[in-house]
């Protein structure tokens, strides 16, 4: 199959001007959690991508593990996002927002009244960092605090928080939502038997450990429709102290089959090798392609050549690029014309200044 990454595509519920997505990346520019005009400018600068997936967006006041991230749980936040979606749509791109609950990867300074973060079980990610305030009030990386285990009724409340945020996303003009089921955050914490030792309906078997994910998906589908709901997954990932377990392959096969039944917009898989964690095993994406009947996006160390090979092989439908989009707002044109790629400056990823946010230049071929 000969598929051009730069050509228009209609796949499932997605109609895009090309097969390139901008992956979600936390930028921590919103002190009050409300998107502003500079956020609209930031995303509009990057609308060479057919699909933009926003930074992780908080679904509640207790879902955060990073200071200054935007949310989608108040009317003011929802209103603020409208200028972002309007700007992106004006340039002919589609935009989904990533709905985020970090679970145990949080610090008391991220939580209302400095309460403990919540998780499937009270197991601390003692070597993982949140972004909060230390004991001296200085902002920066801080060790994740010990969480408390969620009560069963609280799990069901968080399921509804995802659905409410999904409704708010549609009100704000988003084309859809991507639930963050990756990178060691709350949804993936439920999947992992070393982090989830619950004895209720959300722990034990693969089916039980997958229940929270599927209930959050189902509630979001009921709220806004399956064609507007997607999820990000990191099979075999290890970020934020998620150990591997024997049933990883079986777990993701089960999820692929269950999500196929629901006819969601897409599954977005990230290969964490690019983040210094475990790589996807040889042949995993080919197997996942056989299990999952739907649109697949892949991120992680993506290049023009790699994306073209995966598309031609029919393994993926859309290629997602991450950090390259931060330092190269015109990344799609650079890829198309084989222009050089500017490396990002990670020390500028977070922060309340515009440095490293709106000041990256497009390529000057003169």
List, by residue number, the catalytic residues: 185
- Closest to 62 (Cα-Cα) out of 123, 125, 122, 105: 105
Q: Give the whole-angstrom CA distance, residue 96 versus residue 54.
A: 6
Q: Tell the burial category of 114 from Cβ atoms under 10 Å away from its Cβ (0-12, 13-18, 19+).
A: exposed
* The pair of three-digit structure tokens given for residue 134, joined into one six-digit string: 């230390």
Q: Strand 94-100 vs strand 51-58: parallel, antiparallel, or unpaired? A: parallel
Q: In this structure, how many other beta carbons lie within 10 angstroms of the beta carbon of residue 204?
A: 15
Distances (CA, A) of 55 to 99, 126, 178, 327, 366: 9, 25, 10, 15, 33
Q: Give the whole-angstrom CA distance, residue 79 versus residue 72.
A: 9
Name the one residue in this structure whose structure tokens are 């500079």.
38
Largest CA distance in the chain: 65
Q: Hey, which residues does 229 pair with through a beta bridge? A: 177
List CB contacts of 149: < 8 A, sequence separation 6 or more: 118, 119, 120, 121, 122, 198
Q: Give the whole-angstrom CA distance, residue 229 versus residue 163.
A: 10
Alpha helices in 124-194 (DSSP H): 152-171, 186-191
* The pair of three-digit structure tokens given for residue 270, joined into one six-digit string: 């990230």
For residue 309, the number of C-alpha atoms closer than 13 Å in the C-beta half-sphere is: 7
* The pair of three-digit structure tokens given for residue 12, joined into one six-digit string: 């499932």
Residue 25 and residue 301 in contact, taking contact as beta carbons nearer than 8 Å: no
């Amino acid at each position: 199959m000969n598929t051009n990454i730069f050509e228009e595509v209609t796949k499932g519920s997605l109609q895009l001007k090309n097969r390139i997505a901008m992956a979600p990346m936390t930028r921590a520019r919103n002190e009050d959690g409300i998107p502003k005009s500079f956020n609209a400018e930031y995303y509009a600068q990057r609308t060479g991508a057919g699909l933009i997936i926003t930074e992780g967006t908080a679904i509640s006041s207790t879902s955060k593990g990073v200071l200054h991230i935007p949310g989608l749980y108040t009317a003011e936040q929802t209103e603020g996002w409208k200028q972002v979606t309007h700007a992106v749509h004006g340039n002919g791109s589609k935009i989904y927002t990533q709905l985020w609950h970090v679970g145990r990867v949080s610090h008391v300074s991220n939580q209302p009244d400095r309460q403990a973060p919540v998780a499937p079980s009270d197991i601390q990610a003692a070597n993982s960092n949140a972004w909060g305030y230390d004991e001296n009030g200085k902002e920066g990386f801080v060790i994740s605090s010990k969480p408390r285990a969620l009560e069963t009724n609280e799990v069901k409340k968080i399921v509804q928080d995802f659905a409410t945020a999904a409704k708010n996303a549609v009100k704000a003009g988003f084309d859809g939502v991507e639930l963050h089921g990756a990178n060691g955050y709350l949804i993936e914490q439920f999947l992992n038997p070393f982090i989830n030792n619950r004895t209720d309906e959300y722990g034990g078997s693969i089916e039980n450990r997958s229940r929270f994910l599927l209930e959050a998906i189902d509630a979001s589908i009921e709220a806004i429709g399956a064609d507007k709901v997607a999820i990000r997954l990191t099979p075999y990932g290890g970020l934020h102290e998620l150990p591997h377990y024997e049933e990883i392959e079986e777990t993701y096969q089960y999820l692929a089959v269950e999500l196929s039944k629901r006819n969601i917009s897409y599954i977005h898989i990230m290969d964490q090798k690019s983040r210094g964690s475990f790589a996807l095993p040889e042949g995993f994406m080919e197997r996942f392609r056989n299990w999952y009947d739907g649109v697949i996006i892949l991120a992680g160390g993506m290049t023009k050549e790699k994306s073209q090979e995966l598309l031609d092989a029919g393994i993926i439908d859309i290629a997602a690029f991450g950090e390259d989009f931060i330092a190269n707002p015109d990344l799609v044109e650079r890829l198309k014309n084989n222009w050089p790629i500017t490396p990002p400056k990670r020390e500028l990823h977070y922060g309340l200044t515009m440095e490293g946010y709106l000041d990256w230049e497009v390529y000057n071929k003169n």
